[in-house]
Amino acid sequence: MAWDETCVMDQRLRFIAAYLEGLESLSALSRQYGISRKIGDKWLRRYRAEGPAGLEDRSRRPHSNSRALEPAVIEEVLSVRRRYGWGPRKVKAFLEDRHPEQDWPAASTIGDLFDRTGLTRPRKRRRRVPPQSAPLAACRRPNDVWCADFKGWFLTGDGTQVEPFTLSDGYSRFLICCETVARPDGAHVWPLLEAAFYEHGLPWALRSDNGAPFASRAVAGLSQLAVKLIKAGVLPERIAAGQPQENGRHERLHLTLKQDTASPPARSLAEQIECFERFREIYNTERPHEALGQVPPGRIYKRSPRQFDGVLRSPQYPSGAEVRRVRSNGVVKWQGNLVFLSEVLVGEPVGLFQLSDTVWLVKYGPVELGTMRGRQGFLPHGPAQLRRAVRRQNETRNLSPMSSG
């Protein structure tokens, strides 16, 4: 007979009692109770060593685990997590880069370790929109496109308002600038851009949203800052209205920046600035980036070969273009008439290119503004025309021999 699952201990005690009475041999009793001779001998040995307590079931958990993490490895992994707050894959990549001779555990094992030690917070699951690559696909090499934006203001512990301005390379994710500004306007942003141009050279384009100071309601969305960029040799490039995912790499940078430097904010402005500086150094030189093969952005980024000499030059046009300079009230003289373009372009030359007998394309440098159409005067480009113009500008930039830098 097999052990009765409802009273295993009683069966084992009866088996031992019957054996101790000496009426049956161990082999006969084992056959009678439906167990092997080896199992019967095991329970008899346990009873003699421990009494009735020896007949209780024991855990089958192994006394040791040959795959368990060594204390030194655990401490090193946890120290990186506590210092930087990175996830398992970044921690693993960081440690493998610093100590390649050590056999580090898998990212899943590191994640389990974080869970056991209370170093993770569960996230609320959200349904996400599928990612969209355009127009970021134009970022084929460092300095093709820089991305600029304001992170959004917040208050430090002493009540000081902080407005961080950030600038990054779209290809390498290298954080070029992370500075607080007194006001988010062109007067405060241009000195930061100018300093970045001196230090890192010129990008081909600067991508931003449609807010001030990057854009305005003037013709083609140009602002005073956009005009300065064109004169410096940089094409201002704006994402579609209400489509922040088109600058998704920079938006993701802002999330990391918020988590590492403003959750919670520092106690004072001076401490917050130190946090930004420390973050930029770690982000560029130490923090592994998954999209870059788990290497820091600083190993991918290279300085632009296009030097900046500090001179803002008005655009030059080919010999076949008609050139008109915008007057102080924003108008140009065309075929005997005064035609309003924009006060943003006061003092700047615009080029007119003949498309037909009565239609002329108006451009400011590489930016198409609209058309001159006989008696109708100036007609600014609509959204569809502007999108086509941006595509043409991107194609021109990608085909340029200088873009190989």
Residue 401: the pLDDT is 38
> Which residue from 211, 214, 223, 218 is spatially nearest to 378, judged by alpha carbons?
218
Q: Which residues contact 163 (CB under 8 A, 6 or more apart)?
A: 150, 151, 152, 153, 180, 181, 182, 183, 184
Residue 133: the pLDDT is 34
CB 290 within 8 A of CB 256: no
> Which residue from 225, 223, 213, 208 is spatially nearest to 167, judged by alpha carbons?
208
Q: Which residues contact 139 (CB under 8 A, 6 or more apart)?
A: 145, 170, 171
First-to-final CA distance of the chain: 84
Phi, psi dihedrals of residue 373, rounded to the nearest 5°: -130, 80
DSSP state of 129: P
Residue 63: the pLDDT is 65
Cα–Cα distance for residue pair 58/36, rounded to 1 Å:
19
Cα–Cα distance for residue pair 271/257, rounded to 1 Å:
15
- Contacts by 122-128 with C-beta closer than 8 Å and gap 24+? none
The string of DSSP codes covering 98-112 is: H-TTS-PPPHHHHHH
Token pair 């101790």 is found at 20
The CA R_g of the chain, rounded to the nearest whole Å, is 36
Residue 85 has a CB neighbour count (10 Å cut-off) of: 15
The domain ranges of the chain are 8-55, 81-116, 142-299, 322-400
CB 51 within 8 A of CB 41: no
Encode the chain (405 residues) as per-residue pLDDT tens digits.
Answer: 455 455 788 888 888 888 888 778 888 888 888 889 898 888 888 888 888 887 888 777 766 565 678 888 888 888 888 888 888 898 888 988 888 888 888 888 888 888 888 888 776 665 443 333 334 346 789 999 999 999 888 999 999 999 999 999 999 999 999 999 999 999 999 999 999 999 999 999 999 988 889 998 889 889 999 999 999 999 999 887 767 777 778 888 889 899 989 889 999 999 999 999 999 999 999 999 888 888 999 999 999 999 999 999 999 999 989 999 999 999 999 888 899 999 999 999 999 999 988 899 999 999 999 999 877 788 887 655 555 555 555 555 554 433 333
The two three-digit tokens of residue 323, written as one number: 């050139």
Domain 142-299 is in which class?
alpha beta
DSSP state of 302: -
